[in-house]
């Protein structure tokens, strides 16, 4: 049974992330290859820089997107680095109204699983946090690798009522 979690995005099937591909109508903004955990700091800074330089659609605002993306990228990349051999590849793309983060690792035989309960050190908590910060997630095989992706929406700034003050 598959469902979308009401606490955030992500297709869930019996606590496993569902096999699905990200939107195809996306444009690549950047790619990073990570060999060591220390490189996560550089990744977060680079992601922030790319995000703040992006033109936004009319009515769109960046808001907390860079902070959310930094957390999602850190959690997904750290998971990949902790459970697979290097390198881990992180890709940032966008559609008109969302940014998509893809993390590619060398462990295609391990299906991403959420930790719903347990101590803070339990496996799968980073995936759960990424799900809460995104509006859609999934994973798919990519040749001899696995890609876990998350999509974060570009917020819409509410417009006035149109009435004179």
Determine the pLDDT at residue 116. Answer: 62
Q: How confident is the model at residue 160 (pLDDT cuts 50, 70, 90)?
A: low
pLDDT tens readout for residues 44-99: 999 999 999 999 999 999 999 999 999 999 999 999 999 888 999 999 999 999 99
Q: Residue 119: its pLDDT value, please?
A: 55
DSSP the chain: -EEE-TTS--EEETTEE-B-PPPSS-EEEEEEEESSTTHHHHHHHHHHHHHHTS---TTB--TTHHHHHHHHHHHHHHHHHHHSPSPEEEEEEE-SSEEEEEEEES-TTS--B---SS-TTSTTHHHHHHHHH-SEEEEEEETTEEEEEEEEEPPBPPPP-S---
CATH of 2-153, one of 3.40.50.720, 3.30.565.10, 3.55.40.20, 3.30.1540.20: 3.30.565.10
Number of Cβ within a 10 Å radius of residue 138: 19
Residue of 89, 115, 101, 78 lying closest to 22 (CA atoms): 101
Per-residue pLDDT tens over the stretch 11-52? 545 578 889 999 999 999 999 999 999 999 999 999 999 999
| pLDDT band at residue 1 using 50, 70 and 90 as cut-offs | very low
Domain boundaries, the chain: 2-153
Confidence band of 2 (pLDDT split at 50, 70, 90): very low
């Amino acid at each position: 049974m598959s469902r979308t979690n009401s606490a955030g995005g992500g297709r869930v099937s019996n606590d496993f992330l569902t096999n699905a591909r990200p939107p195809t109508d996306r444009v690549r903004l950047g790619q990073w290859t990570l060999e060591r955990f220390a490189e996560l700091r550089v990744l977060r800074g680079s992601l922030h820089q790319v995000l703040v330089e992006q033109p936004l659609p009319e009515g769109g605002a960046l808001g907390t997107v860079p902070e959310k993306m930094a957390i999602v990228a850190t959690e997904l990349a750290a998971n990949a680095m902790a459970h697979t051999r290097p390198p881990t590849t992180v890709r940032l793309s966008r559609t008109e109204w969302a940014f998509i983060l893809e993390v590619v690792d060398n462990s295609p035989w391990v299906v991403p699983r959420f930790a719903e309960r347990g101590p803070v050190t339990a496996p799968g908590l980073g995936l759960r946090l990424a799900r809460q910060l995104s509006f859609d997630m999934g994973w798919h095989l990519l040749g001899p690798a696995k890609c876990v992706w998350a999509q974060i929406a570009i917020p819409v700034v509410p417009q006035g009522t149109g009435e004179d003050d």
